[in-house]
Amino acid sequence: MGGLSSSCIVLLLVLQASCIAWGSEYNYVDALDKSLMFFEAQRSGKLPQNQRVKWRGDSGLSDGFKQGVDLVGGYYDAGDHVKFGLPMAYSVTMLAWGVIEFRKEIMELDQMGNALAAIKWGADYFIKAHPQPNVLWAQVGDGDSDHYCWERAEDMTTPRTAYKLDTSNHGSDLAGETAAAMAAAAIAFRPYNSSYSDLLLVHSKQLFSFADRFRGLFVDSIPNTKKFYASSGYEDELLWAAAWLYQATREDYYLKYVADNAVSMGGTGWAVKQFSWDNKYAAVQILLSKVLLEGGGGAYTSTLKQYQAKADYFACACQQKNDGYNVPMTAGGLLYINEWNNLQYAASAAFLHAVYSEYLSAANAVLNCPDAQLKPQDLLNFAKSQADYILGKNPKSMSYIVGYGQNYPVHVHHRGASIAPISVLHSPVGCVQGFETWYRLPGKNPNVIYGGLVGGPNKNDEFNDDRANYEQTEPTMSGTAPLLGLFSRLSKINGSPRAGSNHQETPTSNTNSSPS
């Protein structure tokens, strides 16, 4: 009698289960496409003709003019209309890092144009914001006055005050992060536009010198930012900028800088459990581990090994293999750092694991944790677990990327998404009027802000889809930016579907009609 033996059947079932686990359960390509659309929704300035997010219009067209500088452009931070320099620069760095590490995957998915456009929109703004070697315009808008209003960017009536850093008003953290962003962007653009890449490097080098010579926290120079983005230090940004400038130039000066300042700036001292717009140590340690793993340590090998030891600590702690000194996790399997916008930490950690997996794999290396030895595939498995949680493999069976899947947040804390677009509602929405006519409405947002990663669930995997619940429902640039690289890497998984072209500018069942 013909047929398969029982052992063959078991083997096939195991292989089938493996394919499901590593196959098409989630559409990473579609998630990637949508994440890039979010950055188009956050654009400030004169929008291009190829703008895909049609419910947005031109805005902030006089930013900086009162101070005699052109600061038109850049990105709005989250659900508000302040252009905060630190998270914007961090987001551009992360987008560029994704392109650098996963260029081939992004090209195969025909997303390189969109990815570079997202990077360039920020980098062009940074060029404007850096008119002199020791001057950096750090912010446009004031958080307090901006948050007092609920209005579309196209209707803004709030003060658009611009704030700058200079030799009297220091901000090494913000200037350092902007230097890192421009260095990373220079690498991303090198194969396509060498002159633009060169220009970015000029600005990056000048900004790094400015940040290093005139040290201080930017929130001490711009106090009104403290309640929104209170930077905890600037040493990590100086190391971060130097590490990226070394990647961009291969000049020994920058590698020597991270080696000479490894102890004094905490690069080899801090063992951290998070990576975010504020804390760059884990990323510095992993980026410098790449230099070591590629055999480029030279005279700095011993110091780079200390950096790598801290990179390993981060990965081991995330994967619960660090002899008890681990990152907290929810019962549903999500890294949990902070009740406010926790998913940004899960997304950035997943990205770092995807990148570190590549570095270790290329060097045929493993990671020795106190509780286990981890292979590169183990790191990638962890990255996938966090990505899948974000996309719906969680106790709520909810996608936390707006517009992805069938069950995602529809009461997103975002001014533009929650108010009818100017193409439908031509009259301006007043500052306070917006709260009454739109913010407090129980219905869905009239505009889907595709690709925005919201703050996400609490420590009990609970999520309340409420516009007023900004800790959980507000999408941010800094949270969404790591997704480009993360989903690009996961798209290589066998069986991951291609992206569809099913974007809709408004929900099919819009319950918010234009107010009369």
Query: pLDDT tens across 62-105, in order?
Result: 999 999 999 999 999 999 999 999 999 999 999 999 999 999 99
Pair of tokens at residue 506: 């408004």
Q: What is the 3-state secondary structure (H, E, C) of 297-336?
A: CHHHHHHHHHHHHHHHHHHHHHCCCCCCCCCCECCCCCEC
Share of the chain above pLDDT 90, in %: 89
**Residue range 190-195: mean pLDDT, rounded:** 98
Total domains in the chain come to: 1
Asked if pLDDT for residue 291 goes beyond 90, the answer is yes
By the 8 A CB rule, do 291 and 305 touch? Answer: no
- List, in sequence order, the alpha helices (H) in 438-482: 470-473, 477-480
Measured distance CA(402)–CA(405) in Å, rounded? 9
Q: Give domain status of residue 507, yes or no.
A: no
Measured distance CA(465)–CA(472) in Å, rounded? 8
Cα torsion through 287, 288, 292, 296, rounded to 10: 100
What is the span of the domain harbouring residue 344? Answer: 25-490
- pLDDT tens-digit profile of 417-430? 999 998 999 999 99
Number of H helices, E strands in the chain: 20, 5
Q: Are strands 162-165 and 367-368 parallel, antiparallel or unpaired?
A: unpaired
Asked if pLDDT for residue 387 goes beyond 80, the answer is yes
Q: Give domain status of residue 260, yes or no.
A: yes
Arithmetic mean of pLDDT over the chain? 92
Q: pLDDT band for position 25 (50/70/90)?
A: confident
Q: pLDDT band for position 324 (50/70/90)?
A: confident
CB atoms under 10 Å from CB of 199, counted, come to: 16
Q: Give domain status of residue 495, yes or no.
A: no
Q: Are strands 373-374 and 367-368 parallel, antiparallel or unpaired?
A: antiparallel
User: What are the DSSP calls for 444-456, one per residue?
Assistant: --SS--TT-B---
The answer to whether the predicted template modeling score (pTM) of the entire model surpasses 0.75 is yes
The residues assigned a catalytic role are 413
Q: Give domain status of residue 9, yes or no.
A: no
3 vs 115, higher pLDDT: 115
Contacts for 380-383: CB closer than 8 Å, 24+ residues apart: 380/353, 380/354, 380/489, 382/318, 382/319, 382/350, 382/353, 383/350, 383/351, 383/353, 383/354, 383/357, 383/486, 383/489, 383/490
Q: Give domain status of residue 129, yes or no.
A: yes
Task: Give whole-number Cα distances, 138 to 59, 62, 124, 177, 211, in Å.
Answer: 19, 16, 14, 11, 13
- pLDDT tens-digit profile of 449-503? 999 999 999 999 999 999 999 999 999 999 999 999 999 999 998 655 565 444 4
Lowest average pLDDT, out of 6-15, 38-47, 410-419, goes to 6-15
Measured distance CA(409)–CA(405) in Å, rounded? 11
Please identify which residue in the block is written with the tokens 């994704």: 98
Q: Give domain status of residue 283, yes or no.
A: yes
Q: Give domain status of residue 503, yes or no.
A: no
List CB contacts of 274: < 8 A, sequence separation 6 or more: 282, 327, 337, 345, 348, 349
Pair of tokens at residue 452: 């925005």
Q: Give domain status of residue 147, yes or no.
A: yes
Q: What is the CATH number of the domain that holds 284?
A: 1.50.10.10
Task: Give whole-number Cα distances, 140 to 45, 73, 83, 229, 479, in Å.
Answer: 12, 10, 5, 14, 21
pLDDT of residue 498: 60
pLDDT of residue 202: 99
